[in-house]
C-alpha cells in the first residue's frame, strides 16, 4: 500500500532526523569544540545549503518525478553521519554542513512531493505530516537513550542506520508517472506566491524564535523546573499528532484557506496566553493551541502551496519547506537580540504579532491568487 509505505519512510526518516538534530549543537560545542560564533555559522551553513539544494531538486522533480532524489540525499546524509564522530576540523565540518547534511533538508519536500504525485490526493498529506510529528515526539527520547549508553558515535551511527532503512523503504514506493507538460512551463497562475511565502516564513520565524524565548521565560521568568519544558513540548507534540490526523477526517469541501487562518489565529493566541501565564495550567493550555496551530499550518499549508502551484508539486513543496528553513535562519539572530533587548514576555508578544501579520499576508496572498485565476 503506497500510503503505508510513505508513512513508514517519513516516520523512519523523521526519527533519525530528530535523533541527531536534537543533539547536534551539543556535539558541535562539546566534541568539536566550536565557539558560539562558530556554532551560529555552522547552523547557517546547514540552512543556506539546504535551501539551495532543496530548490534545485524541487525543480528537477517537476521535470522528471522520481524516487531517486529522495533516496540519494538520504543515503548521502547517512554516510555523513557515519564519519561525523571522527571529524573535528571546523572547515571540514562547515563544508559537510553546507553539502552532505544540507542535502538531508531536501528529503522532506521530496518525500511529500512524491506522496502527492503517487497518491494523487491532497488529503493524504495529513497522514504523512502526522507521521513526521510522531517521529519528532519519540525520536529525541530514543536519541537520549542511545546517547546515554553509547555517546555521540553511537547516536550518529544509529541515526545513519535509520536513514538507510528509510531510503530502502522509499524504494518500495511505486514509481511516479511522467511530469505533466504544464509542470515545466511558467504561467501567471504558477508564479511564485510572494505573499504566501512571506506569511509562512513569518509563522516559522515566530515558532522558532518563540521556542527559544519560551524556554527562558518558563525556567527563568516563572522559575519553573527545567523538566517542565519536557512536559510542555510533550503536550504540544501529542496535540499536533491528533490535530493532524483530524484534518484527514474533514470533509473535502472544507476551505483550506479558512483552516490556515484559524491556524495563524491559534498561534497568535498561544503566545498571548503564554505571556499571561503565572504557572503550568495556562502554559499547558497554550501548548494545546500551539499544537493545533502547527498541525494546521504545516499540513494544510503544504497542500495549499501544492494546489496553488499545481502541477509543479516539487517546486511547491520545496518552496514551503524552504520558508520554514528561512524562518529558522532568521529566528536564530532575531530571538537573541529580542530577548536581550526587550525581555522574554515582549519577545513572545512580538512572536504573536508576527503570527497575526502572517495571517493577514496569507489572506491577501490567497485573494491575489483568486483574482489571478479569475483572469486566466
Q: Can you give 124-183 as a three-state secondary structure string?
A: HHHHHHHHHHHHHHHHHHHHHHHHHHHHHHHHHHHHHHHHHHHHHHHHHCCCCCCCCHHH
Which of 144, 179, 214 is the last residue before a domain boundary? 179
Average pLDDT, the chain: 88
Q: How high is the pLDDT of residue 305?
A: 92
Query: Taking residues 44-72, what's their average pLDDT?
Result: 92
Total-model pTM: 0.83
**Tens digits of residue pLDDT in 287-302:** 999 999 999 999 999 9
Q: Are residues 137 and 204 in the same domain?
A: no
Q: Which of 19-28, 170-179, 182-191 has the lowest mean pLDDT?
A: 182-191
Q: Say if residue 96 is in the same domain as residue 227.
A: no
Please give the average per-residue pLDDT across 95-110, as a whole number.
93
Whether 71 and 212 map to the same domain: the answer is: no
The grid coordinates of residue 212 equal 527559544
Average pLDDT of the segment spanning 8-27: 90
Question: What pLDDT, on a 0 to 100 scale, did the predictor assign at position 308?
Answer: 87
* Other CB atoms within 10 A of residue 20 CB: 25
Is the predicted pLDDT of residue 374 greater than 70, yes or no?
no
**Residues 247 and 365 reside in one and the same domain:** yes
Which pLDDT belongs to residue 187? 42
| Mean pLDDT of all residues in 240-254 | 87
Of 144, 159, 179, the position where a domain reaches its end is 179
End residue of a domain, out of 179, 211, 236: 179
Q: 258 and 312 share a domain?
A: yes
pLDDT score recorded for residue 186? 44
357 dihedral zone (left: phi>0; alpha: psi -120 to 50; beta): alpha
The structural domain count of the chain equals 2
Residue 282 has pLDDT above 90, yes or no: yes
Does one domain contain both 200 and 319? yes
Summarize the confidence of residues 294-314 as an average pLDDT.
91
Whether the Cβ atoms of residue 142 and residue 20 lie closer than 8 Å to each other: no
Q: 191 and 116 in one domain?
A: no
Range of the domain at 160: 2-179
Residue 188's pLDDT band, with cuts at 50, 70 and 90, is very low
Point out the least confidently predicted range of 7-21, 50-64, 120-134, 249-263: 120-134
pLDDT at residue 179, as a whole number:
65
Please check whether residue 274 is in contact with residue 282, taking contact to mean a CB–CB distance below 8 angstroms: yes
Q: What is the pLDDT of residue 336?
A: 74
193 and 310 assigned to the same domain: yes
Question: In terms of domains, do 196 and 142 share one?
Answer: no
Going by pLDDT thresholds of 50, 70 and 90, the confidence category of residue 182 is: low
- The residue ranking higher by pLDDT, 143 or 373, is 143
Position 375 scores a pLDDT of 52
373 pLDDT band (50/70/90 cuts)? Answer: low
Burial of 187 (0-12, 13-18, 19+ CB in 10 A): exposed
Read off the pLDDT of residues 153-169 as tens digits, 9 standing for 90 and up: 999 999 999 999 999 99
Closest CA to 244 of 140, 138, 135: 135
Q: What CATH number is attached to the domain comprising 166?
A: 1.20.1250.20
Question: Using CA atoms, how far apart are residues 87 and 64, in angstroms rounded to an integer?
Answer: 36
What's the pLDDT score for residue 200? 96
Percent of the chain, pLDDT > 90? Answer: 55
**218 and 134 part of one domain:** no
Per-residue pLDDT at 310 exceeds 80: yes
Q: What is the pLDDT of residues 319-368, one digit of tens each?
A: 999 999 899 888 877 877 888 888 889 999 999 999 999 999 999 998 87
Residue 370 and residue 300 share a domain: yes
- Tell me, yes or no, whether 144 and 285 share the same domain: no
Average pLDDT of the segment spanning 177-187: 57
Amino acid at each position: 500500500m503506497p500510503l503505508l509505505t510513505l508513512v513508514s519512510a517519513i516516520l523512519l526518516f523523521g526519527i533519525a532526523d530528530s535523533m541527531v538534530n536534537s543533539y547536534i549543537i551539543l556535539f558541535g560545542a562539546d566534541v568539536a569544540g566550536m565557539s558560539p560564533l562558530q556554532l551560529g555559522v555552522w547552523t547557517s551553513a546547514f540552512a543556506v545549503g539546504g535551501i539551495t539544494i532543496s530548490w534545485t531538486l524541487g525543480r528537477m522533480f517537476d521535470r522528471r518525478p522520481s524516487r531517486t532524489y529522495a533516496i540519494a540525499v538520504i543515503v548521502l546524509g547517512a554516510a555523513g553521519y557515519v564519519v561525523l564522530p571522527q571529524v573535528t576540523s571546523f572547515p571540514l565540518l562547515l563544508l559537510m554542513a553546507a553539502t552532505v547534511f544540507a542535502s538531508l533538508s531536501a528529503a522532506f519536500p521530496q518525500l511529500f512531493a512524491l506522496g502527492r504525485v503517487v497518491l494523487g490526493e491532497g488529503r493524504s498529506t495529513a497522514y504523512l505530516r502526522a507521521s513526521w510529528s510522531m517521529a519528532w515526539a519519540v525520536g529525541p527520547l530514543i536519541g537520549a537513550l542511545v546517547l546515554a549508553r553509547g555517546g555521540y558515535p553511537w547516536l550518529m551511527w544509529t541515526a545513519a542506520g535509520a536513514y538507510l532503512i528509510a531510503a530502502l523503504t522509499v524504494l518500495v514506493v511505486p514509481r511516479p508517472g511522467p511530469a505533466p507538460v504544464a509542470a515545466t512551463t511558467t504561467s501567471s497562475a504558477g508564479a511564485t506566491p510572494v505573499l504566501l511565502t512571506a506569511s509562512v516564513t513569518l509563522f516559522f520565524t515566530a515558532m522558532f524564535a518563540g521556542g527559544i524565548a519560551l524556554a527562558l521565560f518558563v525556567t527563568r521568568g516563572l522559575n519553573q523546573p527545567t523538566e517542565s519544558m519536557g512536559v510542555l513540548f510533550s503536550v504540544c507534540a501529542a496535540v499536533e499528532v491528533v490535530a493532524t490526523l483530524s484534518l484527514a477526517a474533514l470533509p473535502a469541501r472544507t476551505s483550506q484557506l479558512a483552516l490556515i487562518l484559524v491556524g495563524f489565529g491559534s498561534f497568535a493566541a498561544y503566545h498571548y496566553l503564554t505571556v499571561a501565564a503565572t504557572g503550568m495550567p495556562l502554559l499547558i493550555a497554550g501548548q494545546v493551541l500551539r499544537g493545533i496551530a502547527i498541525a494546521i499550518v504545516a499540513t494544510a499549508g503544504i497542500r495549499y502551496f501544492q494546489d496553488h502551484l499545481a502541477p509543479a508539486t516539487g517546486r511547491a513543496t520545496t518552496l514551503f519547506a524552504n520558508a520554514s528553513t528561512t524562518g529558522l535562519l532568521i529566528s536564530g539572530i532575531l530571538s537573541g537580540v529580542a530577548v536581550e533587548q526587550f525581555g522574554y514576555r515582549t519577545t513572545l508578544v512580538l512572536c504573536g504579532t508576527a503570527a497575526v501579520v502572517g495571517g493577514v499576508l496569507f489572506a491577501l496572498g490567497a485573494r491575489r491568487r483568486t483574482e489571478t485565476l479569475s483572469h486566466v
